[in-house]
Amino acid sequence: MADPTRKKGVHVSMIIREHREACKKHPKFCDHFIDESRITWAEGEKRIKAKNSKPPEYADCVLMEEVAEAFNAYSQGKLEHSLQEFAQCGAVILRCMQFVCDEINGGKNV
């Protein structure tokens, strides 16, 4: 059987499958979108950007920066900007999945 991690588009199809299953299992997503009682997303974004401004780069930190940017934009009422940042989160997640697939297949990630 062919290795599924080498098929084109496998990452997107995995995400879509997981989304469908999550919607079935948990039809109600959340009560609220952001928790204002914790550190603000603006503070979180500033902190992670400072960390990411110097090497080495880490995938988890890159993703957290995009997440902070998305929620910070949302908290400021910049909904279209927030949506664009969430799309960037998806792009980083796809790159993370490719990194892991490369590792599964014995390839070099760096």
Spans of all domains in the chain: 35-104
Sole residue written with tokens 């902190």: 47
Tell me the C-alpha distance between 45 and 81, whole Å. 15
Kindly tell me if the per-residue pLDDT of 1 is higher than 90: no
Q: Is 33 exposed, middle or buried (CB count within 10 Å of its CB: 0-12, 13-18, 19+)?
A: exposed
State the pLDDT at residue 70.
96
38 or 11, which is more confident: 11
State the pLDDT at residue 106.
86
| Interacting residues of 40 by C-beta distance below 8 A, sequence separation 6+ | 72, 75
Tell me the C-alpha distance between 76 and 39, whole Å. 14
Kindly tell me if the per-residue pLDDT of 11 is higher than 60: yes
State the pLDDT at residue 38.
61
